Structure 1
Amino acid sequence: MLRMLRGRPKAQTSSSHHCSPAPAPAQAPAPKTPLDDEDLLQEILLRLPPNPSSLPRASLVCKGWRSILSDPEFLERFRKHHHTPPLLGFFAGHVHATPVFTPILDSPNRIPASRFPVPQSHSRNDEWRFMGCRHGLAVLLEVSRREAVVWHPLTGQRRHVSFPPGMHTDDWNRWHAAVQCADAADGHVHGDCFSNPFKLVLILVAQRVRAFACLYESASGAWGDIASTATRDTICYTQPSVLIGNAFCWLLGEADILAFDIQRQSLGVIEKPNMKRYFDSSVRLFRTQDNGPGLACLSKLTIQLWERKSYCDGVVGWEMLQKTIKLKGLFPRRMRGYDKLVYLSGYDEDTNAIVLTTETGNFTLQLDSAQIRHIIKRDYICDNTFYPYTNFYTAGRGVGWKWVDQKL
């Protein structure tokens, strides 16, 4: 037995010999995903909703996404894809006070009011009068300095345009103005148009018997000829312009419509339909589905709609629509007892929605669908005018940019 044990080979230990591990099998490369294709990735990112938080939040994913989302060419494609900028909120205020931006979107898309501070007047004795917004631009008037101010809330930039010679009065309540982007390029999407040419219309109603209008075009840097027409009343100071077809329109005190044809640079008055007299806060000018003028009239919590139509024989006239909107059945139940006092205090021409003011706050009412939304909650009624502000609030843009004050 001893000999057998001695004849056995000694066991090999790890200290004397090292066994090499078997080579690992070669791993196949990871399959590519659609997100690895930059062209396809951009097509996916284009379809993010146009909410203020969409692009900033997506840019946090990685550097590659942030590089794409901050590219000006991508941002332009993003705007063209969605075409219509979102309604970010309203500039709301009394006619004698500087309006304040009032956001209406929910978090995380809610933009604080401090992001869009309305510029202050150079004179302590004269406030800039806010005239309204369109295509991401706002227009204000400083009558004491005879200036119109085109302001871009997103960047804070503004341009000053001196009044044309030949239109004179120191009564600020007789002036009105409207602005629009004048970029005629194919595929241009309105919303971020400060660097584009614009058209500015200045209105003056003298002694309630005659109105004057003049068109300024930034492309030429010049005012056109002054147009005028007879009128029976002044423009309602709580009623900003509505762009209907190729004309800026304002509601006059008697519910007639003052219309300035931008292409012809002519001024005229559209007489109101045969209806009863309404207070300024009970009637609103709106744009119909046929891109014509319409009137929304509120009486006893019911909105009646009038539409101006062209008939086949060439006759143009007003027609009262059978559609009515009963507000009492639309307001929340908790408003019972507080819905007797309602004002029409604003209009958004892009969404065809009217702003309602009540004792429990403000609502937007979509005229086509009769959908109602509670946008501002309060326990008292106010007489503010609401000017809608729409724009693409995208990554890399904001009021933090240095504004440029240009004199034209």
Structure 2
Amino acid sequence: MPPPPTLPNEILEEIFMRLPPDEPAFLVRATLASKHWFGLLTGPAFRSRYRDFHGAPSMLGFFRSWTPYSAWGEEGLEPLFVSTSNFVACIPGKEEDQYDEYGEWGYSIREKEEDWGYSGRDAWDCRHGRVVLGDRDVTDTKLAVLDPVTGRWRELCVPKDYDSHGAAVLCAVPGCHHRTCHEGPFRVIVVGMNINKGDSVAYVYVSLPMTDQWSQPPSQWSQPCPGLHLGFDAIFQPMPPVLTEEALYFTLMYDDDDGDDDKRVGILKYDLHSKCLSLIDVPLMETDIACNAILMGMEDGSLGFAHLDGLTLNLWSRKMGSDGTTTWTHLRVINLEELLPIQNLKQRLGLIGSVEGSDIIFMTMDFGICQISLKSLEWKKIWKEEYFGALLPYMSFNDP
């Protein structure tokens, strides 16, 4: 009996093209079915078409930024990365014998698992296929930039000791579509804050983007722009910065003028073109309690601001008007009591993150961590009930 006829490559590609990108195991299994399928699905032509077909990368999981003592769960230290798909992140330290004493880029590899995401190590930023890891509780801060797909990473020392730090990782390839930029060079931007008796000063350092190597810390870091005097004492909120409109926006916390324990919210902008810092206003001057507000990168490219008032979610967008001035516009009010099955109305909700360039936000509530689409008002639980400072979605393609 003759073997069944094989389908043309064009038909096979159209079939495999429709496998969901947030379930990378489907494509992996297909590559194991035959040598022909393996060659087809691992080729650059199919991978390029697959990414173009699905557009923006999917969320494969999330990293977490801890609040004090929140890294400890019922069974000990909680993991740094949580997968929401079949993706398994490659984090150095889980298998001590898979790395040499020195990584392929010349920096020593930490062999103990607790040095990666445990014992105070948490995520500062996650973008363009990489995540920045650091320790906010020590003065001699070192940052590590990890590619969870390949397990490759670099370590950088913060150029100078500051009282508080913020950091961002960006692809350094001009015109990149940001679907496979973990394969190319990137840069790290560090913002340091010196607290100085009611007038904190912020500084910026930018690493040198070079193919397959990092700038050497600390002597070869580029010089910072002139420090920005804030006029008040502030620290960085443990929330990743938002990238939109060719600028990075960091969330600050500072004490209320009334002298109570509440924390006000401030916004620090770093312009990627002028390479300078500035303060911008928030839409609600009475905004307090830092966990009640987050910045967002909106779908239209504008800067967004989400604020919780009890069980009411308010959405704002910062846009330029016809007169050339930039102002906040109140977009929407959402009643969460009507949307979510909240059981304990007295338990405070918390905003802990968003997906840049989309309408997705993440919240903590009495039944767990929830992902909400602000456009469709669809929601789903993605993790157990737990408290941490920020959720950093890991967006990437993980095809063969």
Instruction: Describe the shift of the 1:324–1:249 C-alpha distance in structure 2 as closer, same or farther (beyond 3 A).
Output: same
Q: Which residue pairs with 2:183 in the alignment?
A: 195
* 1:324 paired residue among 323, 333, 336: 333
The 5 Å alignment of 1:135-214 reads 135-141=128-134, 145-164=140-159, 167-169=160-162, 171=163, 174-185=164-175, 188-207=176-195, 209-214=200-205
Kindly provide the CA deviation profile for residues 335-387 of structure 1, in whole angstroms up to 9, marking residues without a partner as x. Answer: 43357421112222143322111121110122233222111234xx5234211
Aligned to 1:64: 36
Note the 1:1-12 alignment, pairs <5 A.
none
Aligned CA distance change for structure 1 residues 82 and 54 (closer, same or farther; 3 Å) = same
CA distance, structure 2, for counterparts of residue 176 and residue 264 of structure 1:
19
Indicate how the Cα distance of structure 1 residues 104 and 73 shifts in structure 2: closer, same or farther if over 3 A, else same: same
The answer to whether the Cα contact below 8 Å between 2:297 and 2:357 also exists between their aligned partners in 1 is: no
Alignment correspondent of 2:367: 360
Distance 1:162 1:247 in 2: 24
Question: Which amino acid counterpart does residue 101 of structure 1 have in structure 2?
Answer: F
Unaligned runs of 5+ in 2: 72-77, 94-109, 254-263
The residue aligned with 2:392 is 387
Q: Is 2:84 aligned against 1:101?
A: no
Residues 156, 43 of structure 1: alpha-carbon distance in 2 compared, 3 angstrom cutoff: same
Amino acid at match of 2:210: A
**Secondary structure of the structure 2 residue equivalent to 1:57:** helix
- What is residue 260 of structure 2 aligned with on the other side? none
Letter in 2 for 1:183: V
Cα distance, 1:45 vs structure 2:
2.7
Change (3 A) 1:74 1:193: same
Preserved contact between residue 338 and residue 360 of structure 1 (Cα < 8 Å): no
Deviations 1:3-22 (A, max 9, x none): xxxxxxxxxxxxxxxxxxxx
Gaps of 5+ in 1: 1-26, 396-408
> Are the counterparts in 1 of residues 142 and 157 from structure 2 also a CA contact under 8 Å?
yes
Deviations 1:284-312 (A, max 9, x none): 11123331222111012000112222111
Deviates more, 1:382-391 or 1:68-77: 68-77
CA distance in 1, matches of 2:300, 2:44: 35
Q: TM-score, normalised by structure 1?
A: 0.76
CA distance in structure 2 between the aligned counterparts of 1:230 and 1:77, rounded to whole angstroms? 48
Contact 1:133–1:388 at 8 Å: present in 2 too?
yes
Write the distance in 2 (CA, Å) between the matches of 1:144 and 1:236.
Answer: 15
- Name the CA distance, whole Å, in 2 between partners of 1:346 and 1:179: 17
| Counterpart residue number, 2:98 | none
The 8 Å contact of residues 298 and 358 in structure 2, kept in 1 or not, is answered as no
Q: How does 1:243-258 map to 2 (within 5 A)?
A: 243-253=243-253, 254-258=264-268
Residues 204 and 212 of structure 1 are in contact (CA less than 8 Å); yes or no, is this contact kept in structure 2?
yes
Instruction: Note closer, same or farther for the CA distance 1:146–1:361 as it changes in structure 2 (3 Å cut).
Output: closer
Moved more, 335-344 or 56-65: 335-344
Question: In structure 2, what is the equivalent of residue 38 of structure 1?
Answer: 9
Range moving further from structure 2, 134-143 or 220-229 = 220-229
Match of 2:278 in 1: 268
**Structure 2 counterpart of 1:224:** 222
1:54 to 7, 26, 44: 26
Which residue in 2 is equivalent to 1:18?
none
Larger radius of gyration: 1
The one-letter amino acid paired with 1:163 is V
Structure 1 residue 93: deviation in Å? Answer: 4.7
Separation in 2, partners of 1:31, 1:363: 47
Contact 1:338 1:358 in 2 (8 A): no
Instruction: Mark the CA change 1:139 to 1:353 in structure 2 (over 3 Å): closer, same or farther.
Output: same
- Flag as ranges the 4+ runs of structure 1 deviating above 4 A: 29-33, 96-99, 114-123, 142-146
Conservation of the 8 A alpha-carbon contact between 1:83 and 1:189: no
How high is the TM-score relative to the length of structure 2?
Answer: 0.77
Give the aligned residue type for 1:104: T
1:21-46, CA deviations, whole angstroms, 9 ceiling, x for partnerless residues?
Answer: xxxxxx9x99966x1x2244334433
Q: Please give the root-mean-square deviation of Cα atoms over the aligned residues, in Å.
A: 3.1
Offset of 1:240 from its aligned partner? 1.2
List aligned pairs for 1:310-321, cutoff 5 A: 310-321=320-331
Distance (whole Å) between structure 2 residues aligned to residue 390 and residue 325 of structure 1? 26
1:305 is matched with which residue?
315
Counterpart of 2:207 in 1: which secondary structure?
strand
- Is residue 126 of structure 2 the alignment partner of residue 133 of structure 1? yes
Residue 276 of structure 2 corresponds to residue 288 of structure 1: no
* 1:288–1:294 CA contact under 8 A, matched in 2: yes
Percent of aligned pairs with the same residue?
30
